Amino acid sequence: MAQAAFVPEPAPQHGEPSFDVLRWHDEPWTAQLALELLPETNGPKVEVLSGSVIVTPHAGIDHQSVERELPYLLHRAARRAGLWVYPEINLVSGKDLFIPDIAVLRTSGGGRSAVDIRQAVLLGEIVSPGNRRKDVIDRPREYAAAGVPFFLRVDLRNRVPAMALYELIDGEYRPLAAAAAGSTFVMKQPFEFSVDPADLLDEEAPIEDDDESLVEGGDESPVEGSDDTN
């Protein structure tokens, strides 16, 4: 009996946004393509960097605790200065699509699905164990290249939170303010704000028998077929 010839699966026509598009789209990705073709999600971050789609699972619960508390506190202070604070919004920088942990904008992002990075006054990252290079080296470099005036980093190493604010000077971020848990982090720019970093973490959870079987943190990895640009 003759074997049927192999017929390649045709590329789907553009319709409703779907992650299925990652299976057949083999051209370089752009921020605009990702926003048009991929669905909105409350799950993993889906970013675009140098033509590749980068998927990042949710980080550990300490990261989520800070991302719950800090944007709320920052937003209350920022509004007095006429600024707006959002956690995890789509920021378009040329062909790249970033989703910073914290974004301080000059204008409201209400009603939009994405904002141009030029609207950002400050961008912040909460350092995850699996994404340390991205949060400490790569992402600040990319934000500086885009001209974002301030960068805020929150480091949770050993559950001793520390915060550091940097200002863009001559194309590089220079330290402006810093503090660790048990002291007060104080910044004057781009608006006045203060907090003890220790207040951003929840109490440590009780140890359970199956804790060792759970995966902690969130390693960033490109989807199959894309290059690891980080």
Q: What is the pLDDT of residues 152-209, one digit of tens each?
A: 999 999 999 999 999 999 999 999 999 999 999 999 999 999 999 999 999 888 877 5
pLDDT at 8 over 50: no
Q: What is the pLDDT of residues 32-75, one digit of tens each?
A: 877 787 767 666 778 888 888 787 777 788 999 999 999 999 99
Residue 33: its pLDDT value, please? 78
What is the rounded average pLDDT of the residues 78-87? Answer: 97
Say which residues have a Cβ less than 8 Å from residue 194's Cβ, sequence separation at least 6. Answer: 184, 185, 186, 187
Residue among 167, 193, 195 nearest 181 (CA): 195
Longest Cα–Cα distance of the chain, Å, equals 79
To the nearest 5 percent, what fractions of the chain are helix, strand and coil? 25, 30, 45
What is the rounded average pLDDT of the residues 115-119? Answer: 97
Q: What are phi and psi of 34, to 5 degrees?
A: -60, -40
Range list of β-strands (E), 106-158: 115-116, 120-127, 150-155
Question: Which letter does DSSP use for residue 94 in this model?
Answer: T
Please give the C-alpha separations between residue 24 and each of 10, 15, 18, 57, 153, in angstroms, as whole numbers: 9, 14, 12, 22, 37
Q: What is the pLDDT of residues 67-79, one digit of tens each?
A: 999 999 999 999 9
% of the chain with per-residue pLDDT over 70:
77
